[in-house]
Each structure stands twice: as C-alpha cells, then as structure tokens.
C-alpha cells in the first residue's frame, strides 16, 4: 500500500458513503423524525399505549441512524485530514494504521448501505421464527437444535433479544419444533430471508456405522404484529384446545392444562404454546403467533406486495431448500437463491449469517426494482 493507492481507496469510500446517504433520503427522514418528536409532546400521546411504544421505537431507530451517519461523516473527515498530513510529511510510519481505519470504515459503510435495502413496511418489526424438523427423526431434531443455536448466536451478536415462545422436545435428542421471538431493531428485515427449507449433510453422530446423512428442517419467519387491528380474528374461526404441558414450567408441568393449541379453521394454520405456566399467557402468545402467520399468508397472497415485503418465498417442502450446509465429504454453505457460498461452515452455524443475509437483501432488492 502506497499513498496513491490510499488516496484512491479513500476517494472510493467517500463516494460510496455519499451514495448511501442519498439512498437513505436523510432529508425526508429528518422531517419524519421532527414530526414524531412533536407528536410525542402531545398530551394525548400515551392514551394509546401500543401506538406510543411503536412511535418511540421509530424515534429511537431514526436517532440511531443519524448518529451512525454523523459518526461516519466525522471519521471520514478525520481520515482525509490524516491522509493530507501524510502527503505533506511523507512520513509513511502511520500508513498501515490509516489503511486499517479505511478497512474498518469500509465495513461500516457497507453495513449502512444494507440498511437502505430494508425499506419494507414490516422490516423494522420484531420477528417470530418457527423451526420444524423434517423427515429423519433424531437427526432432523438435532438439526432443529443446531439452527436454533445458530439464530440465537447471530441475534446475540447483533443486539437482538431472543425469547422462546414454544418448543416441543425431541424425546431425548434435539427438538421437534421451536418458536422464538427475535426482538430488536430491524429483526424481521434481517431475518426474513431465512424462511424456507435448510438442508444438512454430515456424518451422523447417531449412526453407529458412521454413514453420511442428509436431513432437512423448515424455517418460518413472520413479522410480529404491531397494529392489533391489522389482523382481526373471528372467534367462530378458531378451535382452541388445552392440554398438559410437556416442556418447561416447574411444578406446574403435567399438573395443569396450561398448554394451548389454536387452529384457524379457514386457513388450517395450527399454533401451539406451552412454555408459560399460565394458560392465559400461553393463549395470548398463541394468538400473537397466529396473527403473525396470518399476516404472512396475507402478504404471500398479495403477489406484488409480497415481492416488496417478503422477498423470494419458496414453498416449505422438501426439495426446495434455500440453503445447504455440508460438513462431509467437504465443507460448504451455499445459498441456492444467491449462489453465495463459503467453505467455513462452522463459522456460519456459529452465527455468522451476515454475509448470507446481505447477499439475500441485495438480490431481493434488485429483483423488486
């Protein structure tokens, strides 16, 4: 790296940053933030608690965005000054240090540019994720546990809180299914591309003959309902059953009918919730999940809006996997929608999903233009 190359790198970085700012429509967002802050000063602001909380969430999101932009702007200005000082002094001792800052800033500008791709109506929402085991018994149930761990680690690294809403134990190994709430800024926008069938190829630790197995699990991702009136449920369309929980819950497990199963008769969607001790809490959580799944169904049926909000959805069925994770006879993770692949499969299952997510957002955004 020499001064000429450094100047080119910094110039390209500044150009990308300015383009990203243009795509963010900061002037429009600034006006929006001003309107929201005025709205919050209203005496009737807290008369609708859900509306107030969602408004505060949007205010925080916009303020965080402006803080990021300002921080990057200041660091780029400092970087330009350092480069000019370097040119004047011809002291190359700090060249590597400056170049490291260029690399760090480039990564942060890339992450900011990904934010411009999450402009769907529901992208800012929390996400409800359900993972189901496929055919394969123990192997598939272990795969569900591995996927849950992967999403848990990704969310932990990205300031997204995870709460288990419902889980069905695999009877000694793994999980038959698990439903989690991913709560954080743009959780749905980041994770919506995980929806589909995930394929695992490995030497099964449960096979005494050490044969290679292929197994599947399906992942459903839905935005958490913000406006309770967005999906209206008709009680006549619901079949509600209660039963004894088989999961966590302390002394109440298997002693009270606290678990809830709700069937939405018109759509055939079934949701269960058993992780809370109270039947009332489980019922409320099950209704929340049902509304979110009905919203996903509604979005899927609206084909044009589906492209804007949910990207490329594949039907949840074996043979239509969106991604393969191969441990044997070689190591590879490949996303079949974007053709992005990496040989570091362990890094991915340890939660490093961002490159895969970024490629999906870029591809779906291009397809929707």
Question: Taking the domains of the chain in order of start, what are their residue ranges?
Answer: 3-115, 127-223+313-368, 235-301
The DSSP bridge partners found for residue 334 are 324, 341
Topology match between the domains 3-115 and 235-301? no
Structure token digits, residue 88: 């004047």
Q: Which single residue is written with the structure tokens 């383009």?
A: 19
Q: What is the pLDDT of residues 69-98, one digit of tens each?
A: 999 999 999 999 888 887 777 766 677 888
Is residue 183 exposed (0-12), middle (13-18) or buried (19+ Cβ within 10 Å)? middle
How would DSSP label each residue in 242-298?
Answer: EE---SS-GGGTTTS--EEEEEETTTTEEEEE-SSSSHHHHHHHHHHHHHHHHHHHH
Which of the listed CATH numbers 3.40.50.300, 3.20.20.80, 1.10.150.20, 1.20.58.410 matches domain 3-115? 1.20.58.410
- Reported pTM: 0.77
Q: What is the pLDDT of residues 305-330, one digit of tens each?
A: 544 444 444 444 445 789 999 999 89
110-128 burial: b if 16+ Cβ within 10 Å, else e: eebbbbbbbebebbbbbbb
Q: Which residues of the chain have pLDDT under 50?
A: 248-254, 303, 306-318
C-alpha span between 218 and 85 (Å, rounded): 55
Structure-derived torsion over alpha carbons of residues 55, 60, 63, 69, reported in degrees to the nearest 10: -120
> How many alpha carbons fall within 13 Å on the CB side of residue 318?
11
CATH 3.30.70.1660 fits 127-223+313-368, yes or no: yes
Per-residue pLDDT at 14: 94
C-alpha span between 153 and 135 (Å, rounded): 26
Which of the listed CATH numbers 3.30.360.10, 3.30.160.20, 3.30.70.1230, 1.10.10.10 matches domain 235-301? 3.30.160.20
Per-residue pLDDT at 32: 93
Name the pairing type of β-strands 196-203 and 175-183.
unpaired
């Amino acid at each position: 790296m020499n001064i000429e190359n450094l100047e080119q790198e910094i110039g390209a970085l500044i150009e990308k940053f300015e383009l990203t700012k243009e795509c963010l429509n900061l002037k429009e967002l600034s006006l929006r933030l001003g309107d929201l802050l005025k709205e919050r000063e209203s005496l009737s602001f807290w008369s609708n608690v859900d509306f107030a909380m969602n408004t505060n969430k949007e205010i925080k999101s916009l303020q965080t965005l402006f803080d990021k932009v300002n921080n990057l702007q200041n660091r780029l200005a400092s970087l330009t000054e350092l480069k000019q000082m370097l040119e004047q002094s011809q002291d190359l001792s700090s060249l590597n240090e400056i170049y490291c800052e260029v690399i760090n800033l480039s990564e942060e500008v890339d992450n900011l540019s990904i934010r411009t791709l999450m402009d769907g109506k529901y992208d800012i929402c929390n996400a409800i994720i359900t993972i189901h085991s496929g055919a394969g018994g123990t192997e598939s149930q272990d795969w569900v546990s591995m996927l849950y761990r992967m999403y848990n680690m990704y969310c932990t690294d990205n300031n997204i809180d995870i709460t288990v809403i419902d889980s069905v134990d695999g009877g000694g190994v793994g999980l038959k299914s698990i439903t989690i709430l991913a709560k954080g800024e743009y959780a749905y926008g980041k994770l919506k591309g995980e929806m589909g069938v995930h394929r695992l190829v490995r030497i099964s630790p449960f096979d005494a003959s050490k044969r290679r197995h292929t197994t599947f699990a399906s992942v459903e991702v839905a935005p958490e309902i913000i406006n309770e009136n967005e999906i209206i449920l008709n009680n006549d369309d619901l079949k509600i059953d209660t039963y004894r929980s088989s999961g966590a819950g302390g002394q109440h497990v298997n002693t009270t009918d606290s678990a809830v199963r709700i069937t939405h008769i018109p759509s055939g969607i079934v949701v269960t919730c058993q992780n809370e001790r109270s039947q009332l809490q489980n019922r409320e959580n099950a209704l929340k999940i049902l509304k979110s799944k009905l919203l996903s169904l509604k979005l899927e049926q609206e084909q044009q809006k589906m492209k804007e909000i949910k990207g490329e959805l594949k039907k949840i069925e074996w043979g239509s996997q969106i991604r393969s994770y191969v441990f044997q006879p070689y190591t590879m993770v490949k996303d079949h929608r974007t053709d992005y692949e990496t040989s570091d499969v362990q890094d991915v299952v340890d939660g490093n999903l961002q490159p895969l997510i970024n490629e999906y957002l870029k591809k779906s955004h291009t397809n929707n233009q």
